[in-house]
Protein backbone atom coordinates (compact mmCIF):
# COMPACT_ATOMS: atom_id res chain seq x y z
CA UNK A 1 0.00 0.00 0.00
CA UNK A 2 1.65 3.20 -1.14
CA UNK A 3 -0.05 6.49 -0.56
CA UNK A 4 -0.97 7.61 -4.04
CA UNK A 5 -1.37 11.30 -3.75
CA UNK A 6 -0.63 14.32 -1.64
CA UNK A 7 -3.96 14.20 0.11
CA UNK A 8 -3.36 10.65 1.28
CA UNK A 9 0.09 11.51 2.57
CA UNK A 10 -1.22 14.48 4.49
CA UNK A 11 -3.86 12.28 6.05
CA UNK A 12 -1.22 9.79 7.20
CA UNK A 13 0.93 12.60 8.56
CA UNK A 14 -1.99 14.06 10.44
CA UNK A 15 -2.62 10.70 11.97
CA UNK A 16 0.94 10.40 13.23
CA UNK A 17 0.35 13.58 15.21
CA UNK A 18 -3.10 12.63 16.34
CA UNK A 19 -2.43 9.10 17.56
CA UNK A 20 -0.38 8.45 20.68
CA UNK A 21 2.30 5.80 21.03
CA UNK A 22 0.11 3.91 23.52
CA UNK A 23 -2.61 3.52 20.90
CA UNK A 24 -0.24 1.53 18.70
CA UNK A 25 2.03 -0.33 21.14
CA UNK A 26 1.60 -3.92 22.28
CA UNK A 27 1.00 -4.36 25.98
CA UNK A 28 1.87 -7.44 28.07
CA UNK A 29 5.38 -7.72 26.74
CA UNK A 30 7.68 -10.52 27.81
CA UNK A 31 10.53 -9.23 29.97
CA UNK A 32 13.63 -10.72 31.53
CA UNK A 33 15.62 -10.02 34.66
CA UNK A 34 19.26 -8.84 34.40
CA UNK A 35 20.29 -11.80 36.58
CA UNK A 36 18.86 -14.37 34.13
CA UNK A 37 21.34 -16.21 31.88
CA UNK A 38 21.54 -15.83 28.12
CA UNK A 39 20.38 -19.46 27.87
CA UNK A 40 17.22 -18.49 29.74
CA UNK A 41 16.84 -15.51 27.44
CA UNK A 42 16.96 -17.87 24.46
CA UNK A 43 14.00 -19.78 25.92
CA UNK A 44 12.01 -16.55 26.38
CA UNK A 45 12.57 -15.69 22.72
CA UNK A 46 11.59 -19.16 21.63
CA UNK A 47 8.46 -19.36 23.79
CA UNK A 48 7.19 -15.94 22.74
CA UNK A 49 8.41 -15.99 19.13
CA UNK A 50 10.01 -12.59 19.49
CA UNK A 51 13.44 -11.22 18.74
CA UNK A 52 14.17 -9.11 21.78
CA UNK A 53 12.88 -8.12 25.21
CA UNK A 54 13.35 -5.32 27.70
CA UNK A 55 15.36 -6.09 30.82
CA UNK A 56 13.44 -5.17 33.95
CA UNK A 57 14.60 -4.95 37.53
CA UNK A 58 12.20 -3.99 40.34
CA UNK A 59 9.65 -2.68 37.88
CA UNK A 60 12.13 -0.31 36.19
CA UNK A 61 13.55 -0.92 32.78
CA UNK A 62 17.32 -1.17 32.91
CA UNK A 63 18.14 -2.27 29.40
CA UNK A 64 17.17 -4.18 26.30
CA UNK A 65 18.51 -7.46 24.99
CA UNK A 66 18.04 -8.76 21.47
CA UNK A 67 18.62 -11.79 19.32
CA UNK A 68 21.88 -10.20 18.05
CA UNK A 69 23.20 -10.19 21.62
CA UNK A 70 22.23 -13.85 21.85
CA UNK A 71 24.04 -14.72 18.64
CA UNK A 72 27.20 -12.97 19.85
CA UNK A 73 26.97 -14.80 23.18
CA UNK A 74 26.51 -18.09 21.36
CA UNK A 75 29.51 -17.44 19.13
CA UNK A 76 31.62 -16.61 22.16
CA UNK A 77 30.35 -19.65 24.08
CA UNK A 78 28.91 -17.41 26.76
CA UNK A 79 25.42 -18.81 27.17
CA UNK A 80 25.87 -18.81 30.92
CA UNK A 81 26.66 -15.10 31.06
CA UNK A 82 24.08 -12.89 32.73
CA UNK A 83 21.68 -10.90 30.60
CA UNK A 84 22.75 -7.81 32.55
CA UNK A 85 26.26 -8.08 31.09
CA UNK A 86 25.19 -8.58 27.49
CA UNK A 87 22.25 -6.20 27.26
CA UNK A 88 22.30 -2.68 25.90
CA UNK A 89 21.77 -0.46 28.91
CA UNK A 90 20.04 2.90 28.72
CA UNK A 91 18.23 1.95 25.54
CA UNK A 92 16.31 4.48 23.50
CA UNK A 93 12.71 4.51 24.63
CA UNK A 94 9.46 6.20 23.78
CA UNK A 95 6.91 7.69 26.14
CA UNK A 96 3.39 6.33 25.97
CA UNK A 97 1.86 9.78 25.70
CA UNK A 98 4.09 11.01 22.87
CA UNK A 99 2.54 11.36 19.41
CA UNK A 100 3.33 8.56 16.96
CA UNK A 101 5.32 11.12 14.98
CA UNK A 102 8.08 10.78 17.61
CA UNK A 103 8.14 7.05 17.10
CA UNK A 104 8.25 7.37 13.32
CA UNK A 105 11.24 9.70 13.45
CA UNK A 106 13.09 7.60 16.03
CA UNK A 107 12.65 4.51 13.89
CA UNK A 108 14.08 6.26 10.87
CA UNK A 109 16.98 7.84 12.84
CA UNK A 110 18.07 4.91 14.94
CA UNK A 111 17.04 1.98 12.73
CA UNK A 112 16.12 -0.29 15.63
CA UNK A 113 13.49 -2.92 15.14
CA UNK A 114 11.55 -2.01 18.27
CA UNK A 115 11.39 0.44 21.13
CA UNK A 116 10.29 -0.12 24.71
CA UNK A 117 7.46 2.20 25.73
CA UNK A 118 7.57 3.68 29.24
CA UNK A 119 5.34 5.99 31.24
CA UNK A 120 6.57 9.20 32.82
CA UNK A 121 7.49 7.24 35.96
CA UNK A 122 9.94 5.21 33.90
CA UNK A 123 7.91 1.99 34.17
CA UNK A 124 7.81 -0.26 31.15
CA UNK A 125 4.26 -0.51 29.80
CA UNK A 126 4.68 -1.84 26.26
CA UNK A 127 6.72 -2.31 23.10
CA UNK A 128 6.30 -0.82 19.68
CA UNK A 129 7.50 -1.91 16.23
CA UNK A 130 7.08 -0.25 12.83
CA UNK A 131 4.48 -2.89 12.06
CA UNK A 132 2.48 -1.80 15.11
CA UNK A 133 2.51 1.77 13.85
CA UNK A 134 1.30 0.80 10.40
CA UNK A 135 -1.44 -1.35 11.86
CA UNK A 136 -2.70 1.36 14.17
CA UNK A 137 -2.78 3.92 11.38
CA UNK A 138 -4.51 1.60 8.95
CA UNK A 139 -7.07 0.69 11.56
CA UNK A 140 -7.77 4.32 12.15
CA UNK A 141 -7.99 5.07 8.42
CA UNK A 142 -10.41 2.24 8.04
CA UNK A 143 -12.69 3.64 10.74
CA UNK A 144 -12.62 7.07 9.13
CA UNK A 145 -13.42 5.69 5.69
CA UNK A 146 -16.18 3.50 7.02
CA UNK A 147 -17.83 6.47 8.62
CA UNK A 148 -17.59 8.51 5.46
CA UNK A 149 -18.90 5.66 3.42
CA UNK A 150 -21.83 5.07 5.73
CA UNK A 151 -22.68 8.71 5.46
CA UNK A 152 -22.42 8.62 1.69
CA UNK A 153 -24.83 5.73 1.38
CA UNK A 154 -27.22 6.61 4.21
CA UNK A 155 -30.55 5.61 2.75
CA UNK A 156 -30.76 7.45 0.55
CA UNK A 157 -30.20 10.09 -2.07
CA UNK A 158 -33.88 10.04 -2.80
CA UNK A 159 -34.69 10.92 0.78
CA UNK A 160 -32.62 14.04 0.55
CA UNK A 161 -34.96 15.37 -2.13
CA UNK A 162 -38.13 14.68 -0.21
CA UNK A 163 -39.30 17.44 2.07
CA UNK A 164 -41.21 15.95 4.96
CA UNK A 165 -40.76 15.35 8.67
CA UNK A 166 -41.32 11.67 8.24
CA UNK A 167 -40.70 9.64 5.08
CA UNK A 168 -41.26 5.99 4.32
CA UNK A 169 -41.37 4.13 1.03
CA UNK A 170 -43.38 0.92 0.99
CA UNK A 171 -42.96 -1.92 -1.50
CA UNK A 172 -45.24 -4.95 -1.57
CA UNK A 173 -44.70 -8.37 -3.21
CA UNK A 174 -46.98 -11.40 -3.44
CA UNK A 175 -45.56 -14.88 -2.92
CA UNK A 176 -47.33 -17.87 -4.46
CA UNK A 177 -47.48 -21.19 -2.60
CA UNK A 178 -45.35 -24.10 -3.81
CA UNK A 179 -44.27 -22.37 -7.00
CA UNK A 180 -40.62 -23.21 -6.50
CA UNK A 181 -39.52 -22.12 -9.96
CA UNK A 182 -40.54 -18.53 -9.17
CA UNK A 183 -39.40 -18.55 -5.55
CA UNK A 184 -37.05 -15.64 -5.04
CA UNK A 185 -38.67 -13.22 -7.45
CA UNK A 186 -39.96 -11.04 -4.64
CA UNK A 187 -36.53 -10.87 -2.99
CA UNK A 188 -34.91 -10.20 -6.34
CA UNK A 189 -37.33 -7.33 -7.00
CA UNK A 190 -36.70 -5.86 -3.58
CA UNK A 191 -32.94 -6.18 -4.02
CA UNK A 192 -33.00 -4.26 -7.30
CA UNK A 193 -35.29 -1.60 -5.88
CA UNK A 194 -33.02 -0.97 -2.90
CA UNK A 195 -30.10 -0.72 -5.29
CA UNK A 196 -31.88 2.02 -7.21
CA UNK A 197 -32.50 3.86 -3.97
CA UNK A 198 -28.75 4.01 -3.47
CA UNK A 199 -28.70 1.98 -0.29
CA UNK A 200 -25.33 0.60 0.79
CA UNK A 201 -24.51 -2.72 -0.94
CA UNK A 202 -23.74 -4.44 2.37
CA UNK A 203 -27.15 -3.49 3.73
CA UNK A 204 -28.81 -4.66 0.52
CA UNK A 205 -27.06 -7.98 0.73
CA UNK A 206 -28.31 -8.60 4.25
CA UNK A 207 -31.85 -7.62 3.28
CA UNK A 208 -31.70 -9.84 0.17
CA UNK A 209 -30.40 -12.93 1.98
CA UNK A 210 -32.89 -12.62 4.86
CA UNK A 211 -35.86 -11.92 2.60
CA UNK A 212 -34.95 -14.75 0.28
CA UNK A 213 -34.80 -17.35 3.08
CA UNK A 214 -38.17 -16.06 4.34
CA UNK A 215 -39.64 -16.16 0.86
CA UNK A 216 -38.49 -19.76 0.36
CA UNK A 217 -40.23 -20.69 3.62
CA UNK A 218 -43.49 -19.10 2.43
CA UNK A 219 -43.25 -20.97 -0.88
CA UNK A 220 -42.37 -24.30 0.69
CA UNK A 221 -44.43 -24.44 3.88
CA UNK A 222 -47.48 -22.22 3.43
CA UNK A 223 -50.55 -21.51 1.36
CA UNK A 224 -48.98 -18.31 0.07
CA UNK A 225 -48.38 -14.86 1.48
CA UNK A 226 -46.88 -11.46 0.95
CA UNK A 227 -43.76 -9.46 1.65
CA UNK A 228 -43.95 -5.79 2.56
CA UNK A 229 -40.78 -3.72 2.83
CA UNK A 230 -40.88 -0.32 4.44
CA UNK A 231 -37.79 1.77 3.75
CA UNK A 232 -37.01 4.77 5.93
CA UNK A 233 -33.84 6.87 5.92
CA UNK A 234 -32.51 5.04 8.95
CA UNK A 235 -33.86 1.52 8.65
CA UNK A 236 -35.57 -1.08 6.48
CA UNK A 237 -38.38 -3.17 7.90
CA UNK A 238 -39.40 -6.33 6.04
CA UNK A 239 -42.62 -8.07 7.01
CA UNK A 240 -43.30 -11.54 5.69
CA UNK A 241 -46.87 -12.71 6.26
CA UNK A 242 -48.52 -15.95 5.22
CA UNK A 243 -51.91 -17.62 5.46
CA UNK A 244 -50.89 -20.68 7.40
CA UNK A 245 -50.57 -23.44 8.53
CA UNK A 246 -48.50 -21.63 11.21
CA UNK A 247 -45.58 -22.86 13.29
CA UNK A 248 -46.49 -24.94 16.36
CA UNK A 249 -43.21 -24.41 18.23
CA UNK A 250 -41.29 -21.27 17.33
CA UNK A 251 -38.35 -21.95 19.61
CA UNK A 252 -37.85 -25.32 17.95
CA UNK A 253 -38.20 -23.84 14.45
CA UNK A 254 -35.46 -21.32 15.27
CA UNK A 255 -32.98 -24.07 16.25
CA UNK A 256 -30.24 -24.40 13.62
CA UNK A 257 -30.78 -27.74 11.92
CA UNK A 258 -34.46 -28.16 12.76
CA UNK A 259 -36.47 -28.77 9.62
CA UNK A 260 -39.69 -30.38 8.48
CA UNK A 261 -38.77 -29.90 4.82
CA UNK A 262 -39.91 -32.68 2.48
CA UNK A 263 -37.35 -34.48 0.33
CA UNK A 264 -38.05 -32.51 -2.83
CA UNK A 265 -37.02 -29.35 -1.01
CA UNK A 266 -33.81 -30.93 0.24
CA UNK A 267 -32.97 -32.06 -3.26
CA UNK A 268 -33.15 -28.43 -4.31
CA UNK A 269 -30.55 -27.37 -1.75
CA UNK A 270 -32.79 -26.09 1.02
CA UNK A 271 -34.34 -27.72 4.07
CA UNK A 272 -31.28 -28.05 6.29
CA UNK A 273 -32.92 -25.96 9.00
CA UNK A 274 -30.59 -23.00 8.48
CA UNK A 275 -33.13 -20.54 7.03
CA UNK A 276 -34.41 -18.89 10.20
CA UNK A 277 -30.92 -18.86 11.81
CA UNK A 278 -29.57 -17.21 8.64
CA UNK A 279 -32.30 -14.59 8.80
CA UNK A 280 -31.46 -13.93 12.41
CA UNK A 281 -27.78 -13.39 11.67
CA UNK A 282 -28.59 -10.91 8.89
CA UNK A 283 -31.13 -8.96 10.93
CA UNK A 284 -30.53 -6.29 13.53
CA UNK A 285 -33.93 -7.19 14.97
CA UNK A 286 -36.11 -10.18 14.22
CA UNK A 287 -39.57 -11.07 15.49
CA UNK A 288 -41.41 -14.28 14.59
CA UNK A 289 -45.07 -14.68 15.55
CA UNK A 290 -47.27 -17.55 14.49
CA UNK A 291 -50.72 -18.97 15.19
CA UNK A 292 -51.42 -22.51 14.09
CA UNK A 293 -54.29 -22.55 11.62
CA UNK A 294 -54.00 -18.82 10.99
CA UNK A 295 -50.52 -17.94 9.76
CA UNK A 296 -47.04 -16.67 10.45
CA UNK A 297 -45.78 -13.09 10.66
CA UNK A 298 -42.04 -12.50 10.48
CA UNK A 299 -40.59 -9.03 11.00
CA UNK A 300 -36.99 -8.24 10.11
CA UNK A 301 -35.40 -4.89 10.83
CA UNK A 302 -32.06 -3.82 9.39
CA UNK A 303 -30.59 -0.41 10.20
CA UNK A 304 -29.08 1.63 7.41
CA UNK A 305 -26.88 3.93 9.39
CA UNK A 306 -24.69 1.61 11.37
CA UNK A 307 -23.65 -1.33 9.18
CA UNK A 308 -23.80 -3.10 12.56
CA UNK A 309 -23.29 -6.51 11.08
CA UNK A 310 -20.81 -7.29 8.35
CA UNK A 311 -21.51 -10.03 5.88
CA UNK A 312 -24.38 -12.36 6.50
CA UNK A 313 -22.47 -14.88 8.56
CA UNK A 314 -22.67 -15.13 12.31
CA UNK B 1 -7.99 -14.63 -11.08
CA UNK B 2 -9.84 -14.13 -14.35
CA UNK B 3 -12.74 -16.35 -15.36
CA UNK B 4 -10.78 -17.45 -18.44
CA UNK B 5 -8.00 -18.81 -16.22
CA UNK B 6 -10.57 -20.60 -14.07
CA UNK B 7 -11.90 -22.26 -17.19
CA UNK B 8 -8.43 -23.52 -18.16
CA UNK B 9 -7.59 -24.78 -14.69
CA UNK B 10 -10.76 -26.83 -14.36
CA UNK B 11 -10.63 -27.85 -18.05
CA UNK B 12 -14.22 -26.71 -18.22
CA UNK B 13 -16.83 -25.45 -20.65
CA UNK B 14 -18.87 -22.28 -20.76
CA UNK B 15 -22.58 -23.06 -20.86
CA UNK B 16 -24.30 -19.68 -20.80
CA UNK B 17 -24.21 -16.94 -23.42
CA UNK B 18 -22.33 -13.62 -23.35
CA UNK B 19 -19.74 -14.64 -20.79
CA UNK B 20 -16.92 -12.18 -20.20
CA UNK B 21 -13.83 -14.32 -19.63
CA UNK B 22 -11.96 -11.27 -18.36
CA UNK B 23 -14.23 -11.07 -15.34
CA UNK B 24 -12.28 -11.06 -12.10
CA UNK B 25 -12.95 -13.76 -9.49
CA UNK B 26 -11.95 -12.96 -5.91
CA UNK B 27 -12.46 -16.26 -4.11
CA UNK B 28 -14.19 -19.59 -4.32
CA UNK B 29 -16.41 -21.88 -2.31
CA UNK B 30 -18.16 -25.20 -2.82
CA UNK B 31 -21.58 -26.18 -1.47
CA UNK B 32 -24.70 -28.14 -2.31
CA UNK B 33 -26.67 -26.53 0.46
CA UNK B 34 -28.01 -23.17 -0.63
CA UNK B 35 -28.56 -21.98 2.96
CA UNK B 36 -24.83 -22.50 3.47
CA UNK B 37 -24.05 -20.40 0.42
CA UNK B 38 -26.33 -17.68 1.78
CA UNK B 39 -24.54 -17.87 5.10
CA UNK B 40 -20.89 -17.87 3.99
CA UNK B 41 -20.67 -16.45 0.45
CA UNK B 42 -19.13 -13.07 -0.16
CA UNK B 43 -19.50 -10.55 -2.91
CA UNK B 44 -17.19 -11.62 -5.75
CA UNK B 45 -17.26 -15.35 -5.01
CA UNK B 46 -17.20 -18.25 -7.46
CA UNK B 47 -19.57 -21.08 -6.45
CA UNK B 48 -18.88 -24.75 -7.16
CA UNK B 49 -22.00 -26.88 -6.81
CA UNK B 50 -23.57 -30.16 -7.83
CA UNK B 51 -27.09 -28.71 -7.91
CA UNK B 52 -28.50 -27.34 -11.15
CA UNK B 53 -31.98 -25.99 -10.37
CA UNK B 54 -32.81 -22.29 -10.90
CA UNK B 55 -32.67 -21.57 -7.15
CA UNK B 56 -28.90 -21.94 -7.41
CA UNK B 57 -28.90 -18.85 -9.62
CA UNK B 58 -31.31 -17.03 -7.29
CA UNK B 59 -29.10 -17.88 -4.36
CA UNK B 60 -26.08 -16.61 -6.28
CA UNK B 61 -27.88 -13.35 -7.03
CA UNK B 62 -28.82 -12.80 -3.37
CA UNK B 63 -25.44 -13.78 -1.98
CA UNK B 64 -23.31 -11.84 -4.46
CA UNK B 65 -21.86 -14.94 -6.16
CA UNK B 66 -20.46 -13.79 -9.53
CA UNK B 67 -20.11 -17.12 -11.40
CA UNK B 68 -21.18 -20.75 -10.96
CA UNK B 69 -19.41 -24.00 -11.87
CA UNK B 70 -21.51 -27.16 -12.08
CA UNK B 71 -19.29 -30.10 -11.15
CA UNK B 72 -19.20 -33.71 -12.41
CA UNK B 73 -20.51 -32.86 -15.86
CA UNK B 74 -23.99 -32.01 -14.61
CA UNK B 75 -25.82 -29.86 -17.09
CA UNK B 76 -28.48 -27.45 -15.82
CA UNK B 77 -32.02 -27.36 -17.25
CA UNK B 78 -32.90 -24.53 -19.68
CA UNK B 79 -34.72 -22.54 -16.93
CA UNK B 80 -31.51 -22.29 -14.96
CA UNK B 81 -29.51 -21.13 -17.97
CA UNK B 82 -32.21 -18.61 -18.91
CA UNK B 83 -32.29 -17.13 -15.42
CA UNK B 84 -28.49 -16.95 -15.27
CA UNK B 85 -28.36 -15.13 -18.59
CA UNK B 86 -31.02 -12.69 -17.38
CA UNK B 87 -29.04 -12.02 -14.19
CA UNK B 88 -25.68 -11.88 -15.96
CA UNK B 89 -24.18 -14.71 -13.92
CA UNK B 90 -21.83 -16.88 -16.04
CA UNK B 91 -22.31 -20.66 -15.86
CA UNK B 92 -19.42 -23.09 -16.36
CA UNK B 93 -19.30 -26.87 -16.31
CA UNK B 94 -16.51 -29.10 -15.02
CA UNK B 95 -16.17 -32.82 -15.63
CA UNK B 96 -14.21 -33.18 -12.40
CA UNK B 97 -15.70 -33.89 -9.00
CA UNK B 98 -16.46 -31.15 -6.49
CA UNK B 99 -13.29 -32.06 -4.59
CA UNK B 100 -11.04 -31.96 -7.62
CA UNK B 101 -12.60 -28.84 -9.12
CA UNK B 102 -12.19 -26.92 -5.87
CA UNK B 103 -8.74 -28.44 -5.31
CA UNK B 104 -7.44 -27.39 -8.70
CA UNK B 105 -8.54 -23.79 -8.18
CA UNK B 106 -7.29 -23.64 -4.61
CA UNK B 107 -3.92 -25.00 -5.67
CA UNK B 108 -3.76 -22.41 -8.44
CA UNK B 109 -4.11 -19.69 -5.81
CA UNK B 110 -7.81 -18.89 -5.71
CA UNK B 111 -8.45 -18.07 -2.05
CA UNK B 112 -11.24 -19.65 -0.05
CA UNK B 113 -14.27 -17.60 0.76
CA UNK B 114 -14.21 -16.81 4.44
CA UNK B 115 -15.62 -14.08 6.53
CA UNK B 116 -12.19 -12.73 7.29
CA UNK B 117 -11.14 -12.50 3.68
CA UNK B 118 -14.42 -10.90 2.77
CA UNK B 119 -13.98 -8.22 5.35
CA UNK B 120 -10.40 -7.62 4.26
CA UNK B 121 -11.43 -7.30 0.65
CA UNK B 122 -14.14 -4.81 1.47
CA UNK B 123 -11.63 -2.88 3.44
CA UNK B 124 -9.15 -2.77 0.57
CA UNK B 125 -11.82 -1.76 -1.88
CA UNK B 126 -12.90 1.08 0.32
CA UNK B 127 -9.32 2.15 0.67
CA UNK B 128 -8.59 1.90 -3.04
CA UNK B 129 -11.77 3.71 -4.02
CA UNK B 130 -11.01 6.50 -1.58
CA UNK B 131 -7.54 6.75 -3.04
CA UNK B 132 -8.64 6.99 -6.63
CA UNK B 133 -11.73 9.04 -5.83
CA UNK B 134 -9.95 11.65 -3.70
N1 LIG C 1 -43.73 -19.51 7.27
C2 LIG C 1 -43.72 -20.73 7.84
N3 LIG C 1 -44.86 -21.42 8.02
C4 LIG C 1 -44.84 -22.63 8.59
N5 LIG C 1 -43.73 -23.26 9.01
C6 LIG C 1 -42.54 -22.63 8.86
C7 LIG C 1 -42.47 -21.34 8.26
N8 LIG C 1 -41.18 -20.95 8.26
C9 LIG C 1 -40.49 -21.95 8.83
N10 LIG C 1 -41.30 -22.96 9.19
C11 LIG C 1 -40.91 -24.19 9.92
O12 LIG C 1 -39.65 -23.95 10.57
C13 LIG C 1 -38.71 -24.93 10.13
C14 LIG C 1 -37.33 -24.29 10.07
O15 LIG C 1 -37.27 -23.29 9.06
P16 LIG C 1 -35.88 -22.85 8.45
O17 LIG C 1 -35.00 -22.44 9.58
O18 LIG C 1 -36.12 -21.89 7.36
O19 LIG C 1 -35.27 -24.19 7.88
P20 LIG C 1 -35.69 -25.07 6.63
O21 LIG C 1 -36.56 -24.25 5.76
O22 LIG C 1 -34.41 -25.44 6.03
O23 LIG C 1 -36.43 -26.25 7.23
C24 LIG C 1 -39.21 -25.41 8.80
O25 LIG C 1 -38.74 -26.71 8.50
C26 LIG C 1 -40.73 -25.38 9.03
O27 LIG C 1 -41.14 -26.51 9.74
MG1 LIG D 1 -36.20 -22.33 5.21
Domain count, chain B: 1
pLDDT for the residue numbered A33: 95
pLDDT for the residue numbered A141: 77
Name the more confident of B117 and B22: B22
Q: How far is B15 from chain A (nearest CA, A)?
A: 20
Distance of alpha carbon B9 from alpha carbon B30, whole angstroms: 16
In tens, the pLDDT along B92-116 reads: 999 999 999 999 999 998 888 764 4
**Is-contact A264 A279, C-beta < 8 A?**
no
Asked whether residue B122 carries a pLDDT value surpassing 80, the answer given is no
Q: Is the pTM of this model over 0.80?
A: no
Distance of alpha carbon A202 from alpha carbon A254, whole angstroms: 24
Interchain contact, B34 vs A269, CB within 8 Å = yes
- Is B120 part of the contact surface with chain A (CB cutoff 8 Å)? no
Q: How far is A294 from chain B (nearest CA, A)?
A: 27
One digit per residue, the tens of pLDDT, for chain A of length 314 reads: 443 444 455 667 777 788 899 999 998 888 999 999 999 999 999 998 888 899 999 888 899 999 999 999 999 999 999 999 999 988 889 999 988 888 888 887 787 778 999 998 888 899 998 888 888 888 887 777 666 666 555 545 667 677 788 888 999 999 999 988 899 999 999 999 998 888 888 899 999 999 999 999 999 999 999 999 999 988 999 999 999 899 999 999 999 899 999 998 998 899 999 999 999 989 999 999 999 999 999 999 999 875 444 433 33
Mean pLDDT along residues B54-79? 95
Interchain contact, A278 vs B79, CB within 8 Å = no
**Domain of B45?**
3-133
How far does residue A303's CA lie from ligand 2's centre (Å)? Answer: 23
pLDDT for the residue numbered A29: 87
Show the domains of chain A with their CATH numbers.
21-132 (3.10.580.10), 145-303 (3.30.565.10)
How far does residue A280's CA lie from ligand 2's centre (Å)? Answer: 12
Q: Closest partner residue to B54 among A181, A191, A201, by Cβ?
A: A181
Mutate to test the pocket of ligand 1, among A210, A250, A276 (most ligand atoms within 8 A of CB): A276
Query: Where are the alpha helices (H) located in chain A, listed in sequence order?
Result: 6-18, 21-24, 38-48, 67-75, 83-86, 100-110, 130-153, 157-161, 185-196, 201-221, 250-254, 263-267, 275-282
**Domain CATH number, residue B124:** 3.40.1390.20
pLDDT for the residue numbered A58: 86
**Is-contact A279 A299, C-beta < 8 A?**
no
pLDDT for the residue numbered A2: 41
How far does residue B98's CA lie from ligand 1's centre (Å)? Answer: 29
Distance of alpha carbon A242 from alpha carbon A176, whole angstroms: 10
pLDDT for the residue numbered A11: 67
Whether the predicted interface score ipTM is above 0.85: no
Q: At what angle do helices B54-63 and B78-87 cross, to 10 degrees?
A: 20
| Nearest-atom index, ligand 1, CA of A271 | 22
- Is B63 part of the contact surface with chain A (CB cutoff 8 Å)? yes
Distance of alpha carbon A170 from alpha carbon A237, whole angstroms: 9
Strand A60-66: give its sheet, edge to edge.
A52-57, A60-66, A88-89
**Is-contact A115 A102, C-beta < 8 A?**
no
Helices and strands in chain A: count of H runs, count of E runs: 13, 11
**Is-contact A303 A284, C-beta < 8 A?**
yes
SS3 of B66, please? strand
| Nearest-atom index, ligand 1, CA of A242 | 1
pLDDT for the residue numbered A8: 52
- Report the phi/psi class of residue B74: left, alpha or beta, with left for phi > 0 and alpha for psi in -120 to 50: beta
Residues whose beta carbon lies within 6 Å of some atom of ligand 1? A 213, 217-218, 221-222, 242, 245, 247, 253, 258-261, 270-276, 296
B-chain residues near A1 (CB < 8 A): 127
pLDDT for the residue numbered A219: 96
How far does residue A271's CA lie from ligand 2's centre (Å)? Answer: 6
Which residues are A297's β-sheet partners? A241, A289
B-chain residues near A181 (CB < 8 A): 54, 79
In tens, the pLDDT along B1-46 reads: 899 999 999 999 999 999 999 998 988 999 999 988 988 888 889 9
Q: Is the N-terminal amide bond of A213 cis, ω within 30° of 0?
A: no
**Quick one: which of B24, B52, B42, B60 has its CA closest to B112?**
B42
pLDDT for the residue numbered B112: 83
Interface test with A, best of B26, B29, B30, B35 (most A CBs within 10 A): B35
CB-count burial class (<10 Å; 0-12, 13-18, 19+) for A196: exposed
Amino acid sequence: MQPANAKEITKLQELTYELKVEAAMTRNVATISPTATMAEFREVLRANRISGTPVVENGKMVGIVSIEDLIKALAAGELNAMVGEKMTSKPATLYADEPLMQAVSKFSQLRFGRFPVINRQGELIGMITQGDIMRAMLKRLEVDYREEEIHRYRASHIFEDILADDVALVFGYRVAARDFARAGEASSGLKKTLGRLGIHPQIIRRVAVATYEAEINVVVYTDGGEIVAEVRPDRIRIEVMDKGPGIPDIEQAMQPGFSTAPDWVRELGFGAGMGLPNIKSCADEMDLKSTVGVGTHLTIIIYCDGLQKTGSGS
Amino acid sequence: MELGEVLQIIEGKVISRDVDLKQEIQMGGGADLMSDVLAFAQEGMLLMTGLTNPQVVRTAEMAGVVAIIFVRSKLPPPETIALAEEKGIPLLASRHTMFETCGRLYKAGLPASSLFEGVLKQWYETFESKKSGA
